[in-house]
Amino acid sequence: MEKLQKNIDYHFSDAALLKQALTHRSVNKNNNERLEFLGDSILGCVISHELYLRFPLVDEGQLSRLRSSLVRGQTLAKLAKTLNLSENLVLGQGELKSGGFRRESIQADAFEAILGAIFLDSDYLTVSAVILKLYDGLLNEASPDDSLKDFKTQLQELLQKKGRSLPMYELIKTKGQDHNAVFYVSCHIKEFNLTVEENAKSIKRAEQACAESILGSLSSL
């Protein structure tokens, strides 16, 4: 875990907190779910504050959509990969056999859990500095103009422009307990015989992820 702490640029006083942040619920009850809950809230607060300061003339709706793009599961998973976080995950036998260390949702959850662990190990200002450093490139590239239309709206308008039928979204399954459920949603485009499946902590987020994925696929057709 020394390499991971170097990548994060934070060294834990209590190494047990970091170990717990990396422990999936498939292992035991001393897992990262509560830390993930804490980290999710802290991340949202830090990013919200930073966007508020960076874009003083932007309205609440655009700020909210821009924040959502920065804290969604796919973004967290990408950041987790830059830290080689998967190499340090502690998984149960079932998740190990199914390749859980490669699953984006597990990496994203562990990323948030680490932020919660840093907060408990230090304080808000310290974890805020860690987050802003990890997000430096993404924040510098962020533009409110990119958030004017969400992915579902963009996809709907693109299909309407091409004279195609609208996408069909369907909730496939839900995993986990109510307070920490993960929703699996599929999206199907009939004319293109194209179906994708994504998951997130809310149905709306999962639908947005599906729409983003399909927009990427259609751009290559």
Question: Given this model, what pLDDT does residue 115 score?
Answer: 98
Question: Given this model, what pLDDT does residue 201 score?
Answer: 81
Tokens of 26: 């498939």
DSSP string, the chain: -HHHHHHHT---SSHHHHHHHTB-TTT-SSSSHHHHHHHHHHHHHHHHHHHHHH-TTS-HHHHHHHHHHHHSHHHHHHHHHHTTGGGG-B--HHHHHTTGGG-HHHHHHHHHHHHHHHHHHS-HHHHHHHHHHHTHHHHHH--GGGGSS-HHHHHHHHHHHTTPPPPEEEEEEEES-GGG-EEEEEEEETTTTEEEEEEESSHHHHHHHHHHHHHHHHHT-
Assign 3-class secondary structure to 41-92: HHHHHHHHHHHHHHCCCCCHHHHHHHHHHHHCHHHHHHHHHHCCHHHHCECC
Question: Given this model, what pLDDT does residue 99 score?
Answer: 67
Q: Which of the following is catalytic: 104, 112, 121, 207? A: 112
d(CA 33, CA 25): 7
Q: Where are the domains of the chain?
A: 2-147, 151-219
Looking up tokens 């980290």 gives 39
Question: What are the residue ranges in the chain where pLDDT is below 50?
Answer: none
Q: How far is CA 192 from the centre of its chain?
A: 28
Q: Is 112 a catalytic residue?
A: yes
The burial of 78, by beta-carbon neighbours within 10 Å (0-12 exposed, 13-18 middle, 19 or more buried), is given as middle
**Is domain 2-147 in CATH 2.60.40.1930, yes or no?**
no
Question: Hey, what CATH class is 151-219 in?
Answer: alpha beta
d(CA 180, CA 33): 8
Q: Which of the following is catalytic: 33, 40, 121, 198? A: 40
Question: Given this model, what pLDDT does residue 197 score?
Answer: 93
Q: Is 40 a catalytic residue?
A: yes
- Strand 194-200 vs strand 168-175: parallel, antiparallel, or unpaired? unpaired
d(CA 100, CA 13): 28
Helices 124-134 and 104-121: angle between axes, nearest 10 degrees: 140
This prediction's pTM: 0.70
